A and B are shown apart, each in its own frame.
Chain A
Amino acid sequence: GESVGLHLPTLSVQEGDNSIINCAYSNSASDYFIWYKQESGKGPQFIIDIRSNMDKRQGQRVTVLLNKTVKHLSLQIAATQPGDSAVYFCAENWGAGGTSYGKLTFGQGTILTVHP
Chain B
Amino acid sequence: NAGVMQNPRHLVRRRGQEARLRCSPMKGHSHVYWYRQLPEEGLKFMVYLQKENIIDESGMPKERFSAEFPKEGPSILRIQQVVRGDSAAYFCASSPLQGSSNQPQHFGDGTRLSIL
Interface readout for B96-116 with A: 1 if CB under 8 Å, 0 if not? 001111111111111000000
B87 within 8 A of A: no
Interface readout for A3-43 with B: 1 if CB under 8 Å, 0 if not? 01000000000000000000000000000001010000111
The answer on a CB contact under 8 Å between A99 and B100 is: yes
The answer on a CB contact under 8 Å between B99 and A97 is: yes
- Contacts across chains A and B counted by CB atoms under 8 Å: 74
A99 to B1, CA, bound (A): 20
**Least Cβ–Cβ distance between B38 and chain A, in angstroms:** 11
Count of residues in A whose CB is under 8 Å from the partner chain: 26
Interface readout for B72-112 with A: 1 if CB under 8 Å, 0 if not? 00000000000000000001010100111111111111100
Residue from B42, B48, B59, B107 in contact with A45 in the complex, judged by beta carbons closer than 8 Å: B107
B6 / chain A contacts, CB cutoff of 8 Å:
43
| Category for how many chain B residues contact A | 20 to 34
B44 within 8 A of A: yes
A36 to B40, CA, bound (A): 15
Most buried by A among B6, B42, B48: B42
A116 to B56, CA, bound (A): 44
Residue from A43, A107, A109 in contact with B107 in the complex, judged by beta carbons closer than 8 Å: A43
Q: Which 6 A-B pairs have the closest CB atoms?
A: A106-B42, A43-B107, A103-B45, A100-B95, A43-B109, A106-B43
User: Would you list 21 pairs from A and B whose C-beta atoms are within 8 A, ordered by A residue?
Assistant: A4-B42, A34-B105, A42-B109, A43-B107, A43-B109, A43-B110, A44-B107, A46-B104, A49-B102, A51-B102, A89-B43, A97-B99, A100-B100, A100-B104, A100-B105, A101-B31, A102-B55, A103-B58, A103-B59, A106-B35, A109-B40
Contacts A98-B101, A101-B99 supplied; 4 other A-B pairs, CB < 8 Å: A46-B105, A99-B101, A101-B31, A103-B33
